[in-house]
A and B are shown apart, each in its own frame.
Chain A
């Protein structure tokens, strides 16, 4: 017996079995005890509850939802809300972060000062505090009657922000967004796949433009088909009585989250972009100058692409991190995935199943986000072991 324990191979095998076994046993015990406890409260485990109707309403939904709809639909509404909040905030954060990052390497001391102050102020204060702040600010706006009017098309009031919209059905907008994603995926495939490796750069450019133009055409046709009859295509909000009519209402909860996450994310992304610019060798700029390129050409054709290529892996991590932070929507009452799940837990008591759905949802989104960005990174990263910095 002792001689067996002394052999490394046996010891290793035992250790591994013990470790994996201990983890599996813990998970198993938790599930068993949990099931027992819940059954003692008269809650049957399983996913059958997803078909039951919820009986409660949701304050913000991108699709039709009523209190008689089943649980799975409520969860889907929450998932879409989170995805929507995440997509809008990440896009805005990227644009704003790019501007801030460029400001910080502009070479003009005054501009750099403004960029640095922005980063230091918004990066060093917790996101939750910022979202609370924007929420308090937005709900303290005057009521619609004396709301703030921006150029007669956008109205800010304590009840929400009203934006101009299009008089088209929701399905059509959804289809157009899906088509846009498909077109972008096509562009990405064109750039990364081996299949097109032999095509010339000009051919590729032409194909890219064709794809995007095709999408634009499709979107126009879709909007034409899906427009609501007897209304103008453009839908402007206007004040009638005590509230605004028409237009798209952005509730303060959503806007506070979008503003908070975009600005907080922009401060981080700005720093990453700056690091990317600093990682580029001076020789690149000097070579561009020697070739007689203008400063603008050097910036858009040389420095920016190189900087983005250098920081894309870091950016990917930051995007996943920012997407996870959308869960703070619950703090101001935005009906995101997490809030719907926690309401469902309160109402139905199906704790374990709902937590599993919640975690599954986030794993799915984060892994797909990371997967897509890693494909982008594979497409643009330096190939082989050449050193061109």
Chain B
């Protein structure tokens, strides 16, 4: 007699996934209780007993037992825009939206070529900079010292990526150079920078570099920090790209050589496109980490979103509301980072199917 495979019914799959034996059932019930307890308490704290309007500050100062979202209602402009002039904050908001749009668009396969991607990011960045800085098209100029909040975080992230990516490609090519002294020196530089904490590098570029540069090269502290961060990013990204190149079969480059293609042709049209495709999941992971670690600039005195969050509850008026402020800032990061990492996971699956 022949057995026919049937899709398991709902009850059957419930049984295998949750109650396959005694211990399984015990774990299911215990963890379900835990989840319900946590979710209920969060709901109770964050919604049922929460105070939402800034007018009711006194209510949450005396303890309503719930979250005091009033602090967000009162201070959201400070958290998102920092010390940017109040009347001009719409510019900061549009600038952020433009960069988020650029990041979203670059997820579409249409933009997956070096030229289009570079064009998209450079033009997005130019719009961002003009909007933020002003001084042209009748916009009042706002200097970098007054930038803050989410837009500063995005500015640092975008400039580090734009500056770091070409650097990373250069580093990776030098690292795999056939000339031993070049590849060894580059390897030493990359390994050294990679084993130093990012914070010490940012600190060095912010505080120490002015001592060791001739005066005309010093520049603004913000741009020095961005250069330092970009070099750090490039060292990590260079190793990722090199990994992508190493997983290419040697025949690819040899075939290109046999066809008489020159070095830049081979690199630009044969090696790099395939290397990037192989290295896409770790590259996205690197962007995720880079975005999260922009918060470190708060320590060396920049007013990015975490520092402006600290300032939002720093006054005596709101000093009890730290959990709410951190939850709000954490949520903003979560939305960006979660979306990006899900996208990375999706790409990984897609590539796995393609290479099967």
Contacts and interface: CB of A to CB of B under 8 A. Distances in A.
Contacts of B196: 324, 359, 362-363
Interface string B297-313: 01100000010001000
A17 B181 CA distance: 8
B192 A338 contact: no
B199 interface: yes
A386 interface: no
A124 interface: yes
Interface in B171-190: 174, 179-182, 185, 189
Interface of B: 17-18, 20, 24, 27-28, 31-32, 34-35, 174, 179-182, 185, 189, 192, 195-200, 203-204, 207-208, 211-214, 292-293, 295-296, 298-299, 306, 310, 320, 322-323, 326, 329-330, 333-334, 337-338, 341
A137 B326 CA distance: 11
User: Which A-B residue pairs are the 5 nearest by beta carbons?
Assistant: A34-B212, A136-B322, A324-B197, A30-B212, A16-B181
Chain B interface secondary structure, helix, strand, loop or mixed? helix
B17 A109 contact: yes
Given A109-B18, A137-B323, A125 B192 contact: no
A350 to B, nearest CB: 11
Contacts of A129: 295, 306, 326, 329-330, 333
Contact of B310 (A34, A110, A126, A132): A132
B182 A16 contact: yes
21 contacts: A16-B181, A19-B181, A31-B212, A33-B211, A37-B211, A107-B24, A108-B17, A108-B27, A124-B333, A124-B334, A124-B338, A125-B333, A126-B295, A128-B295, A132-B310, A328-B299, A338-B200, A358-B200, A362-B200, A363-B196, A366-B195
Chain A interface secondary structure, helix, strand, loop or mixed? helix
Nearest to B327: A133
Nearest to B28: A110
Given A37-B212, A362-B200, A114 B195 contact: no
A38 interface: yes
A342 B203 contact: yes
Given A19-B182, A123-B341, 16 more contacts: A19-B185, A30-B212, A30-B213, A33-B214, A37-B211, A108-B27, A108-B31, A110-B31, A113-B31, A127-B292, A129-B333, A133-B322, A327-B200, A328-B296, A330-B299, A359-B196
Contacts of B199: 327-328, 330, 338
Interface residues of A, number: 56
Contacts of A31: 212
Nearest to B13: A109
A315 interface: no
Contacts of A327: 197, 199-200
A285 to B, nearest CB: 15
Contacts of B341: 123-124
A20 B183 CA distance: 10
A362 B197 CA distance: 8
Contacts of B203: 338, 342
B212 to A, nearest CB: 4
A123 B291 CA distance: 12
B326 A136 contact: yes
A126 B185 CA distance: 33
